[in-house]
A and B are shown apart, each in its own frame.
Chain A
Amino acid sequence: MNGLLKAASWAVAGLVVVNACAGVGYLLVERQLESARRPAMSAIGGKFPAFSGVDVSGQRWVATDAPCRIVRVTADSCEFCGIDKPAYEALLDVAREARCEVIELSPRAGQMARNERLAVVQLSFVDTDLGSVLAPFVAPQTIILDGAWTMKWIGRGMFSENTLASSMATVRSLAVD
């Protein structure tokens, strides 16, 4: 019995050491995974590539000289985009007041039904790879740009009370009086 207990104690001690090493290894892999998922240039103050595209009705779209732009990645089938809609609509109201241009994109063409709204363009296709600045697989995702395509605010996932307030403040700060 004593021998068995001793062996079990050693096994526990061994497993504690192994688990500690495995835990450190797991954290390292997770950190690498996180940096692999994060687009390289997605930093506030960084440049967003100027792009044009084709909207959901097949019309060519070219950016105007708006003082600010809101890029929103969304899809009709995205559950969290639906839950986030009231917050996004509130941001849209502020964006309209600030005369921003709002560009909605879906990860795949055909994932967004046509929904005409003031100052909002829904694009099916883009002519530039936005994968270096957007995480194209993530919806909802919201990026606020100034008139010179500089990233001023980045939000992945749904808005919280705080992020909605800060995004609205950013849009208001970009408004032209």
Chain B
Amino acid sequence: MSCRKPASRCVTIMDTNHRERGGALAIMIALGISVLAFGALAYNGVSALKKLQVASSSATAPPANGALMGHDVITGGEWVLPSETDGVVVLFNIGRDGDAGSMAFWQKVAMLVRMAEPSIQFVGLCSIGRSCDLQPGEKLFLAVLSSMDLLQMHAMSKAARQNRAFVYRGESSTSATPLTVALNEQNLAEEIINIYRQSRATGGA
């Protein structure tokens, strides 16, 4: 390093250069830390938002895939989702008498659907206080469950509040198609048949 100025002045200039370099380094480190902090905050923020979306999701379906099971009121035994791949299951809450979603409503929907597609099964959850009895001599088109496991029960309870039912396709499907329980049995039956036929064409519900 050459310096023609008096020695003391030269030392000052060298000090200043040193300080500037130190300042620049500090700014660069601060910039790096800020960018990293921004990245971490953005990553955590996005994942927290995604979790929040999932937590407040309104269309939670009970888990399917062979694990769909419960206690059958009629047979008194355990009901398990049939494993045959062609089987489509409509899962729903049985509502109050006279309402859309009552036992009589679903009996009619099941009858209409099964006339067109006999392999579609209907499984209703009969909560405490609901009337799930048949008229004398009436043929039962549904399986009626009185209880399910914790998660399924919770999902079904949520579905009941939203007036929803679900369509599952056999073991191979990983998802359920939500249905809004409409007032008209004929329309709902047609919707179920359409979902079934579309799922057969595409290979999943």
Complex Cα–Cα for A11 and B27 (A): 10
A25 nearest CB across to chain B (Å):
6
Closest-CB distance, A122 to chain B (whole angstroms): 12
Size of the B side of the interface (Cβ < 8 Å), in residues, is 41
B149/A23 in contact, CB under 8 A: no
Which of A13-21, A40-48, A147-155, A160-168 binds B? Answer: A13-21
A33 contacts the other chain (Cβ, under 8 Å)?
A: yes
Q: Are A5 and B38 in contact (CB under 8 A)?
A: no
**Docked-complex contact A36 and B56, CB < 8 angstroms:** yes
Which residue of the partner chain A has the closest CB to B67?
A108
A67 interfacial by beta-carbon distance below 8 Å: no
Residue of A nearest to B35 (CB): A15
Residues of A within 8 A of B128 (CB): 127-128
- The reply to whether B146 and A127 contact each other, CB–CB distance below 8 Å, is yes
Interface 1/0s, chain B 50-93, versus A by CB < 8 A?
01100110000001000101110000011000000000000000
A10: shortest Cβ distance to chain B, in Å?
A: 10
**Which of B48, B56, B157 is within 8 Å of A26, CB to CB?**
B48
Please tell me if A30 contacts chain B, counting CB pairs below 8 Å: yes
CA A19 to CA B43, docked complex, whole Å: 12
Residue A78 lies at the interface, judged by CB distance under 8 Å to chain B: no
| Complex interface: chain A residues within 8 A of B45 (CB) | 22, 25-26, 29
A: number of interface residues (CB 8 Å): 43
Partner of A105, one of B48, B56, B63, B150: B150
**Using a CB–CB distance below 8 Å, which chain A residues touch chain B?**
1, 5, 8-9, 11-12, 15-16, 18-19, 22-23, 25-26, 29-30, 32-33, 36-37, 52-54, 58, 60, 73, 105-110, 124-131, 134, 136-137
Q: State the CA gap A68–B141 with chains docked (Å).
A: 42
Taking a contact as CB atoms under 8 Å apart, the answer to whether A108 and B41 are in contact is no
| A5 engages B27 (CB within 8 Å) | yes
CB pair A109–B69 under 8 Å, yes or no, is yes
Please report the number of residue pairs spanning A and B whose Cβ atoms sit closer than 8 angstroms: 119
Q: Does B31 contact A (CB under 8 A)?
A: yes
Judge whether A127 and B147 touch: CB under 8 Å.
yes
Contacts of B69 in A (CB 8 A): 109-110, 125
- A9 to B63: give the CA distance in the assembly, Å: 53
**B37, B128, B154 interface centre (most CB from chain A within 10 Å):** B154
B132 to chain A, nearest CB (A): 12
For this complex, 9 residue pairs linking A to B, each with C-beta atoms less than 8 Å apart, are A16-B34, A29-B52, A37-B55, A60-B71, A125-B148, A126-B147, A126-B149, A127-B127, A131-B150
Chain A CB within 8 A of B42 CB: yes
- Binary contact track B152-172/A, C-beta < 8 Å → 1, others 0: 111011100000000000000
Asked if A108 contacts B42 (CB within 8 A), the reply is no
Closest 7 CB pairs of A and B: A131-B154, A129-B157, A15-B34, A125-B147, A109-B149, A36-B55, A127-B147
Closest beta carbon of chain B to A130's beta carbon, Å: 6
Q: How far is the CB of A133 from chain B (nearest CB, A)?
A: 11
Cβ contact within 8 Å between A136 and B150: yes
Asked if residues B154 and A136 are in contact (CB atoms below 8 Å), the reply is: yes
